Amino acid sequence: MMSMRLPLSRSPLSAPFFSRSLLLRLATLLLLLGTLSACAVKTNSRGGLVYGVDTAALFGTEIGQFPLQDGGLGTLRREGKNFSVKLSGNQRVVPLNNVDSARIARTENVGPRTVVVIETQRRNCDYRYTVLAIEGSDVLSWDLGNCRDRPAVLVQDDRSALTFDFPKGSVIERFVYTQDGRMRRGDVKTVAGMNPRAKPFADESLYPPGYMDSLRLYGVYPPPAAPAAKSGRSGKSGKPGKPGTSTPSAAPSRSATPDAPAPMQTSTQSAGRVIPPPPQRVPGGDAPAAATGAAPSRSASASRTPAKLDLPDEEITSTRLDLRD
């Protein structure tokens, strides 16, 4: 009996089977990576950690980012009507409740924390500010503002404190954040360089009117006071003039002092809140980029706030949004 050995051949369906398996594995891997990147860690009312899916990372819109002292990034996002801040690295999410719109107004490093000022608009409230002090996964929060004015926010030269000045009638309501993670409040009668009646009180970068021009012309804010003019007796000279001669009239100030700097112009507009776009910031500094280039040589040690800062007695309790692990 004769037997025949048939050669074995691979089925033509085996190659598509392996390709489909490979595609399935790749899809599973991508889904796993997407799930990990969209992980959100929140804190409940009892201080416990709640893990979930960060739908804002998947379907939301990124509004802006800010750097953290630990090298990470913070991201302000919007998903529908919900706003939140996510911290990279620890995947913590800080919700911003009851907010109609939000933007990152200022970011400063004060002590070991990164202080972020978020300007929000709410119902019947044009300007309300959420201040976040971030150190790792520990976040402190305060809610400031009078709903009418932007604050003038200035940082101390040694970065030990950050002041928030709001107009309050004829005085200034001052909030002071210090490097120990505390916020204090008090009323100040007068602040050099600030007018509580000014409209607007501060620009989009939360600088007072005339801040940039003062740095550009004098290298310091507030600008130095003009020297007092010597007063004569009824404007007459001590010696009488000779008969028949006339005293020459004073030349126009423009021709008399051709090298004098132009008068300082503020960014205040008379037609309401028309504010020019914020200047480009210099990393690690409080002065705009345009101001530092033209500032005098003494601008390296320029003071943005009074040398002596009196801390108010009233302390504002913070809200700890995230607890350390």
- Contact, 267 vs 276, CB < 8 A? yes
pLDDT at 41: 53
Please report, in tens digits, the pLDDT of each residue of the chain (325 residues total).
555 555 555 555 455 555 667 666 666 655 554 444 555 555 555 555 555 566 766 668 999 999 999 899 999 999 999 999 999 877 788 999 999 999 999 999 999 999 999 999 999 999 999 999 999 889 999 999 999 999 999 999 899 999 999 999 999 999 999 999 999 999 999 888 899 999 999 999 999 998 999 999 998 888 888 776 665 555 455 455 555 554 444 444 444 444 444 444 444 444 444 444 555 444 444 545 444 444 433 333 344 554 456 777 788 888 876 544 4
110, 164, 285 from 157: Cα distances, Å? 10, 15, 9
pLDDT at 7: 53
Residue 178, phi then psi, degrees to nearest 5: -110, 165
Domain ranges of the chain: 33-224+285-322
pLDDT at 92: 86
Within 81-124, strands assigned E span 82-87, 92-96, 101-110, 113-122
